[in-house]
A = this chain, B = another copy of it.
Amino acid sequence: MSYKDKKVITIGVVSELTGLSERKIRYYEERKLIYPDRSKGGTRKYSFVDVERLIDIANKMEDGMQTFEIRKQEQKLMKKQEVREKMLRGQLNAAFNIRK
């Protein structure tokens, strides 16, 4: 896991980096679009990947997409990716005749 995935950024900085209000950022979490870590005290910690994701979300919101649509779209992409990986693994196994 690289630095991009480390959850170390507080919401104030994320707000500056993305231009989104803290309110919006918390709301997108409530709508299951983003999953920050928490410190013991309860303060949210984000990664740079989260920041990129928030910018992506902001663009889609601007395009008039609703939060549940963004979430569904994301799930579809996940599924596609899974299928792709399964197929790839199957082909690899067949090619090299790997079992287990």
Contacts and interface: CB of A to CB of B under 8 A. Distances in A.
Interface of A: 3-4, 6, 8-10, 12-13, 17, 39, 45, 48
A37 B92 CA distance: 49
Copies per complex of this chain: 2
Residue picked from A8, A10, A39, most chain B C-beta under 10 Å: A8
Contact of A8 (B4, B9, B39): B9
B3 A48 contact: yes
7 contacts: A3-B3, A3-B48, A8-B13, A8-B17, A9-B9, A13-B39, A13-B45
A39 B13 CA distance: 9
Closest 9 CB pairs of A and B: A3-B48, A8-B13, A8-B9, A3-B3, A3-B4, A10-B10, A9-B9, A13-B45, A12-B39
